[in-house]
Amino acid sequence: PIIYVVTPTYARPHQRAELTRLSQTLLLVPSLHWILVEDSVERTAAVTELLAQSDLLYTHLNVQTPPAMKLKDSDPNWLKPRGVEQRNEALRWLREHRAPGDRGVVYFADDDNTYSVKIFQEMRHTQKVSVWPVGLVGGLKYEAPLVDNGKVAGFHTTWKTHRPFPIDMAGFAVSLSLLLTHPKAKFDPDAERGFLESSLLSQLVTVRELEPRADNCTKVWVWHTRTEKPKLKQEDLLEKQGRGSNPKILV
Ligand code: UGA
Ligand code: MN
């Protein structure tokens, strides 16, 4: 099966640094197709160039988050869900370009997390939905499904424990065929904070059907890392004097 990695991404000073790190992790994974979806009106030169020289098999899409749903610079980042329209656009693309019988698995990989190549090995043979721990998330060292007799029997989490699937986006993968046989299943842009993952998974599986991976969910092979915002005070000062860094140099 091919692993389809779906990544929403948006323009910011460190975007190409994030995408370089992620793309070079993905290079280590055989039989992989990267679906990169920009949160933008048009596909940008910065991302187009990065993909073109990446050596990956990829599809480059874009869709803008409606302005009313978009975070402002001054908003705390949890105020609105992020990457929703972009992930749904990738689901639309897969349904249009792939047919029942095509073997694949879909993983929603944000551009700022840290991925071990091991997690891709774990997800490749997914029947319906496979799950595993995610490090540094939910205010814990890790969140993880609790496994009893090979089945998910609960979850190690303290945040909104009433969530139907208390699993971060980085903690599950879905088989392509399940997405194709449930053509309406998608992420709900109006989902309450923390319920985005559940909004998709509830349409596809029950908790008992989840397939635990990573040694019965005892290994952390993906981390919900977040990147510090770069400080560009000097750049702003120089720009005001008309002496900013060369705009032709992609950063
Ligand atoms: C957490 C989860 O890990 C995300 O999968 C989930 O989408 C998010 O919360 C949420 O509640 O919406 P977090 O680190 O807080 O993640 O979110 P970001 O990493 O800032 O954004 C998730 C993805 O969406 C990233 O790939 C990012 O590049 C993209 N994004 C973010 C956009 O496409 N547009 C934006 O305006 C912001
Ligand atoms: Mn993130």
CA 87–ligand 2 middle distance (angstroms)? 14
For residue 135, pLDDT over 70 is answered with yes
Separation CA 204–CA 206 (nearest Å)? 7
DSSP 23-76: HHHHTTSSSEEEEEEESSSS--HHHHHHHHTS-SEEEEEE-PPPGGGSPPTTS-
Q: What is the mean pLDDT of residues 76-83?
A: 82
Q: Kindly report the protein residue whose alpha carbon is nearest to atom 26 of ligand 1.
A: 110
Q: Sort residue 150 into left (φ over 0), alpha (ψ -120 to 50) or beta.
A: left
Residue 71 has pLDDT above 80, yes or no: no
Which structure tokens are listed for 209?
């059907």
Tokens 């092979």 identify what position? 221
Residue 166 to residues 58, 128, 154, 206, 207: CA-CA distances in angstroms?
30, 17, 9, 13, 10
Report the separation in Å between the CA atom of 243 and the middle of ligand 1, taken as the mean of its atom positions: 33
Q: Which ligand is nearest to the CA of 47?
A: 1
Output the CA 81–ligand 1 centroid distance in Å. 7
96 is annotated as an active-site residue:
no
Ligand 1 test: best mutation among 26, 110, 115, 159, most atoms within 8 Å of CB?
A: 110
Which residues form the domain of 236?
Answer: 2-240
Distance, CA of 251 to CA of 247 (rounded, Å):
9
**What pLDDT score does 23 carry?**
98
**246: in domain:** no
Average pLDDT, stretch 119-147?
98
In a domain, 251, yes or no: no
Mean pLDDT, to the nearest integer, of 143-172?
A: 97
Q: Is the pLDDT of residue 67 over 90?
A: no
CATH code for position 35: 3.90.550.10
Most distant CA atoms of the chain, gap in Å: 66
Q: What pLDDT is attached to residue 69?
A: 72
Which amino acids bring their CB within 6 angstroms of ligand 1?
Answer: 7-10, 39, 65, 70-71, 77, 81-83, 86, 110-112, 168-169, 196, 224, 226
Q: Residue 128 pLDDT > 70, yes or no?
A: yes
- 197, 209, 228, 239: the catalytic one is 197
Residue 156 within any structural domain of the chain: yes
Structural domains counted in the chain: 1
Distance CA(118)–CA(114), nearest Å, equals 12
Check residue 184 and give its pLDDT.
98
**Alpha carbons 235 and 40: distance in angstroms, whole number:** 24
Question: For the segment 199-209, what is each residue's pLDDT rounded down to a tens digit?
Answer: 999 999 999 99
Residue among 12, 49, 37 at smallest CA distance from 94: 37
Ligand 1: centre distance to CA 115 (Å): 16
Q: Would you state the pLDDT for residue 79?
A: 73
Candidate from 40, 60, 62, 82 with most ligand 1 atoms within 8 A of CB, to mutate: 82
Q: What are phi and psi of 14, to 5 degrees?
A: -100, 15
Could you tell me if residue 247 is inside a domain? no
250 belongs to a structural domain: no
Please say whether the beta carbons of 139 and 151 come within 8 A: no
| Average predicted confidence (pLDDT) for the chain | 96
pLDDT over threshold 80, residue 20: yes
In this predicted structure, the answer to whether residue 75 has a pLDDT above a threshold of 90 is no
Do the beta carbons of residue 99 and residue 140 sit within 8 Å? no
Q: Which residue has the higher pLDDT, 75 or 123?
A: 123
Looking at residue 78, what is its pLDDT? 72
Is residue 83 classed as helix, strand or coil in its secondary structure?
coil
Is residue 188, in this structure, part of any structural domain at all? yes
**Does 249 reside within a domain?**
no
Atom of ligand 1 nearest to the CA of 110: 26
ipTM of the prediction: 0.98
Query: Is pLDDT above 90 for 148?
Result: yes
Ligand 1 atom with the smallest distance to the CA of 9 is 28
Give the pLDDT band of residue 74 (cuts 50, 70, 90). confident
18's tokens: 């994030």
